[in-house]
């Protein structure tokens, strides 16, 4: 290239799944030449179900209306912000001012970088969970912040060890990332956990950034950290329609926080895009109106898939929580064998399962199965894995 990349890019690599999908595409070309079926992908959490019919109808109806293809407001339609506020009040018991405390996003993943850009200076410190979503770390690196990991361990129910946190040097820490139901662990949030996080953030002057896209998946009690008394003083919450409404490709998310936090996020966001496509916003309004029956059907299907994913783990002799939440199953393997086992399953059985090391050192002894595959696909994957010898992994 004619010029050197920015130094900040040297701190990150291409996203693991981006790299792995290219490798799988190459493997599939060899499998096709050999007359074999393609690799079964159980690695990525991309919902395969249909969105609410009302959302699809709203999208198609509004897309043919003249005037709906122009630039839109940076802050989103008032109807969408009100729909998010109603959603939070109905399901989480949280009251939000739609004019000041909600910012629609192009998927909640965008919000991770926007928050980092808005609030972190070079050298500021960020508490990142281990294991946790890799984007918390990569966004922090891109803004040249310093990552301080905090341990999540099975013996603590994959919740922070607050005594350990209090012993850490917290000078310079501005943000703490949290995520429940946890990705990749499936651990559920509790009222007590959120209360302790709010207390921790207030006492140490740390912004608690809670990433909450999985709260409806295999979980009968969706929680928001913003429901805790005084949470808005120190908390920001990201949410999304991707998982709970089968709308991952639509890229519709939101961030909720007190007004001055939203103002800072909007400063950055308004420099980066020109508003969300209006028909998408109107469709999101309809999606957010879904009632209990939508989530009951959704979770009935995910519960069926969790059992089938568990059967794969049973074949492998992997330990796992049969009642975990979220759209993944997280299983423990013999020490240090997570990546080895995942590779063997890919290369010998033609099934892609995610090795836990990509989520941090505490994930090295784990593998993860996505529940975003039809039951017949999960059964086929189990048959392929059963057919290979796994005794010496």
pLDDT digits (tens, 9 = 90+) for 95-143: 999 999 999 999 999 999 999 999 999 999 999 999 999 999 999 999 9
- Give which of 193, 241, 237 is closest to 216, Cα–Cα: 241
pLDDT of 393: 47
Query: If residue 187 lies in a helix (H) or strand (E), which one and from where to where?
Result: none
Residue 4 pLDDT greater than 90, yes or no: no
All CATH 3.90.1150.10 domain ranges in the chain, comma separated: 7-50+293-386
| Bond prior to 24 in cis (omega within 30° of 0) | no
**pTM (predicted TM-score):** 0.94
Of residues 178, 213, 211, the one with CA closest to residue 196:
178
Q: Which of 185, 200, 165 is nearest to 326 (CA)?
A: 185
pLDDT given for residue 15 in this prediction: 82
Going from the C-alpha of 344 to that of each of 42, 311, 327, 359, 388, the distances in angstroms are 14, 18, 23, 19, 10
* Rounded Cα gap, residues 117 and 112, in angstroms: 9
Between CA 362 and CA 198 the distance in angstroms is 25
Q: What's the CA angle centered on 158, arms 319 and 103, to 5 degrees?
A: 125
Q: Are 240 and 210 in contact (CB under 8 A)?
A: no
What does the block give as tokens for 95? 């009251």
Q: Are 248 and 47 in contact (CB under 8 A)?
A: yes
Radius of gyration of the chain (CA): 21
Assigned CATH topology for domain 74-287? 3.40.640
Please, what is the average pLDDT of the chain?
95
Q: What is the mean pLDDT of residues 266-290?
A: 96
Q: Residue 317 and residue 393: Cα distance in Å, rounded?
A: 11
Query: HSE-up of 260 (CA within 13 Å, CB side)?
Result: 4
Q: Kindly report the number of other CB atoms within 10 A of residue 100's CB atom.
A: 15
Q: Quick check: helix, strand or coil at residue 385?
A: helix
| Listed residue (365, 319, 305, 308) closest to 341, CA to CA | 365
**CA distance linking residue 218 with residue 66, whole number of Å:** 41
Phi, psi of 175 (to 5 degrees): -135, 145
Residue 389 — pLDDT band, cuts 50, 70, 90? Answer: low
- Mean pLDDT, residues 295-305 taken together: 97
Q: Which CATH architecture has domain 7-50+293-386?
A: Alpha-Beta Complex (3.90)
| 279 vs 4, more confident | 279
């Amino acid at each position: 290239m004619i010029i050197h990349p920015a130094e900040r890019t040297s701190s990150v690599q291409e996203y693991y799944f981006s790299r792995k999908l290219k490798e799988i595409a190459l493997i599939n070309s060899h499998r096709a030449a050999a007359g074999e079926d393609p690799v079964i992908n159980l690695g990525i959490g991309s919902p395969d179900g249909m969105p609410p019919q009302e959302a699809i109808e709203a999208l198609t109806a509004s897309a043919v209306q003249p005037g709906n293809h122009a630039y839109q407001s940076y802050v989103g339609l008032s109807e969408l912000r009100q729909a998010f506020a109603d959603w939070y009040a109905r399901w989480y018991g949280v009251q939000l001012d739609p004019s000041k405390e909600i910012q629609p996003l192009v998927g909640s993943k965008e919000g991770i970088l926007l928050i980092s850009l808005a609030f972190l200076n070079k050298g500021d410190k960020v508490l990142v969970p281990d294991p946790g979503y890799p984007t918390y770390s990569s966004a922090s690196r891109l803004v040249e912040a310093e990552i301080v990991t905090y341990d999540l361990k099975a013996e603590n129910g994959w919740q922070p060890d607050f005594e350990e946190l209090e012993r850490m040097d917290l000078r310079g820490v501005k943000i703490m990332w949290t995520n429940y139901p946890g990705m990749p662990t499936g651990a559920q949030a509790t009222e007590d956990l959120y209360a302790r996080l709010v207390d921790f953030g207030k006492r140490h002057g740390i912004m608690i950034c809670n990433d909450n896209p999985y709260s409806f998946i295999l979980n009968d009690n969706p929680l928001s950290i913003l429901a805790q008394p005084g949470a808005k003083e120190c908390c920001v919450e990201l949410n999304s329609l991707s998982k709970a409404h089968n709308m991952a490709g639509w890229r519709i998310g939101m961030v909720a926080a007190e007004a001055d936090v939203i103002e800072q996020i909007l400063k950055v966001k308004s420099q980066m895009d020109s508003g969300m496509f209006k028909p998408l916003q109107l469709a999101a309004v309809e999606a957010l109106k879904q009632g209990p029956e939508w989530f009951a059907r959704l979770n009935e299907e995910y519960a069926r898939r969790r059992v089938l994913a568990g059967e794969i783990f049973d074949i492998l002799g992997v330990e796992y929580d049969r009642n975990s939440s979220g759209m993944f199953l997280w299983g423990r393997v013999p020490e240090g064998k997570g990546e080895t086992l995942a590779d063997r399953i890919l290369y010998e059985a033609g099934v892609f399962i995610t090795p836990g090391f990509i989520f941090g050192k505490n994930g090295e002894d784990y593998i993860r199965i996505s529940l975003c595959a039809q039951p017949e696909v999960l059964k086929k994957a189990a048959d392929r894995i059963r057919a290979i010898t796994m005794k010496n992994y």
